[in-house]
Structure 1
């Protein structure tokens, strides 16, 4: 039995969409999570560029599972109005590409690991405004647990979901990111499982934070997948390999854990896909 809803960040294959789609087709993957598109971030595409991307998607039989946006991946101290306008543009692009979901984050700050009540309140206020806008346009914001943002630990992710969780604000569960924050991923899963609408397939080692193929690290990927699928999960499994460097990686990471990797590409993406396939074969 094949799992139908496999997607991935195809910019880890190559910067150009033609190569991305060629490899996705070769692997039998019918979805992608657009992030890097021909050297530009998805949020920065013009209408003309979006139309050109739509044409290539249609020609190759590829659909967008979620927009891999950078929304919320800025500091609280930065101007929010400009960022909100970028968010509105991302919502527009999601509509143009037929994507129901938009991946997003919950802001960095200057204060290190500790967050004040005032900062928490500001995060909730900003997210609440974006959720209301998403609800008006019938898209779903997916919060990703990411290193160094407010929602990096399971406790703070749960806080966001308890305060704001709804049909238009759900969770992306990324095991590797929790590992890199020193979190027990099974405990995190237990806290968040009622809010998970989307999964990033990425694993890492607790010892040094190094990303490894799914099932090889300390992310409990197979155990979590098994639990979700046995309970009827039918959402996307999105490959985010991070097994090699790729264009735009340096713009995604604040620290240097991921910046000394050998070049990635079709080989590392295929390895990540094969690791997921192996897990699914054991489960299904």
Structure 2
């Protein structure tokens, strides 16, 4: 089992604890976490400092993620420039995969039956397919996740699969906690997505109120809060166990944006995941 965590969690933990980024990275490494998920904009702003930090602490970048507005870019030259720049940064960071968030719908594009909606989604799919084609010779795998936002036309299982099934080189980056946003059962979503899963975000959530934490609201307005893996309302044990038993041997990404104690959450999540691996596979 390989574990990764978001670089943004490292930054948040440093701010919460008053420790340096290097100290937090060293602690994270001691938890059994070897890699980071890197925001492309963050990397662009701090590339030299980030690369130095990685060298000092022995961490690597497992995946780089980027936000785009492909649904509203009609120029192929502009699209190609953005894709090239993104993949180049991923290469410099040493990432073997990228997560693309291809864009969001504007208010007048929300109706799936409207021409505006269909044109926007089609532009997104064309851009993602172009990214997959450009990434393949670089040895970089492209994926999309079930992004928890009503403006994302890839938030639900059906929406995400409409991208993944239409674009052969595109992988499903399964986020265990995001289907709850749309009111879908994670286990049912997992069964449908399973043949396409190439990467996993281990996000647990709870409806138990955390007074000092800003909640994420579901599509129907219920406040959700961050939880260490295995401690919330997502069926994490069933999901991770099935992945391990089915031979998934890639990375499990620890994710809990909004946590008030990122360092403690990262430690607890890593301990739970590694403990479950030992329980399921032994050794």
Q: Is the 8 A contact 1:179 1:205 kept in 2?
A: no
SS of 1:70's partner is strand
User: What is the match of residue 125 of structure 2?
Assistant: 124
Q: Is the 8 A contact 2:79 2:127 kept in 1?
A: no
Q: What is the TM-score when the length of structure 1 is the normalising length? A: 0.78
- Structure with the greater alpha carbon radius of gyration: 2
User: What is the match of residue 230 of structure 1?
Assistant: 245
User: What is the match of residue 259 of structure 1?
Assistant: none
Q: Does 1:96 find its partner at 2:92? A: yes
Cα offset for 1:6? 0.7
> 1:174-213 residue pairs with structure 2 within 5 A?
174-205=175-206, 208-213=223-228
Q: Is the 8 A contact 1:8 1:238 kept in 2?
A: yes
Q: Does 1:30 find its partner at 2:26? A: no
> 1:106-125 residue pairs with structure 2 within 5 A?
106-111=102-107, 114-115=111-112, 116-125=117-126
SS of 2:132's partner is helix
* Per-residue deviation, residues 107-140 of structure 1 (Å, max 9, x unmatched): 2111475433323322211212222221242311
Cα offset for 1:144? 1.6
Q: Is the 8 A contact 2:73 2:123 kept in 1?
A: no
Q: Is the 8 A contact 2:54 2:60 kept in 1?
A: yes
Q: Does 1:242 find its partner at 2:227? A: no
Comparing 116-125 with 271-280, which one deviates more in the overlay? 271-280
Q: Is the 8 A contact 1:179 1:218 kept in 2?
A: no
Q: Does 1:64 find its partner at 2:61? A: yes
**Distance in 2 between residues matched to 1:17 and 1:87, nearest whole Å:** 29
Q: Is the 8 A contact 2:71 2:121 kept in 1?
A: no
User: What is the match of residue 219 of structure 1?
Assistant: 234
* Per-residue deviation, residues 87-123 of structure 1 (Å, max 9, x unmatched): 3222112212221101122321114754333233222
**Distance in 1 between residues matched to 2:81 and 2:27, nearest whole Å:** 34
Structure in which a larger fraction of residues adopt strand: 2
SS of 1:147's partner is coil
Cα offset for 1:243? 4.8
Q: Is the 8 A contact 1:176 1:211 kept in 2?
A: no
User: What is the match of residue 71 of structure 2?
Assistant: 76
Cα offset for 1:278? 4.1
What 5-or-longer segments of structure 2 have no aligned partner?
13-19, 208-221
Q: What is the TM-score when the length of structure 2 is the normalising length? A: 0.78
Judging changes above 3 Å, is the alpha-carbon distance between structure 1 residues 133 and 75 closer, same or farther for their aligned structure 2 residues? closer
Cα offset for 1:64? 1.4
Judging changes above 3 Å, is the alpha-carbon distance between structure 1 residues 281 and 113 closer, same or farther for their aligned structure 2 residues? farther
Q: Is the 8 A contact 2:100 2:143 kept in 1?
A: yes
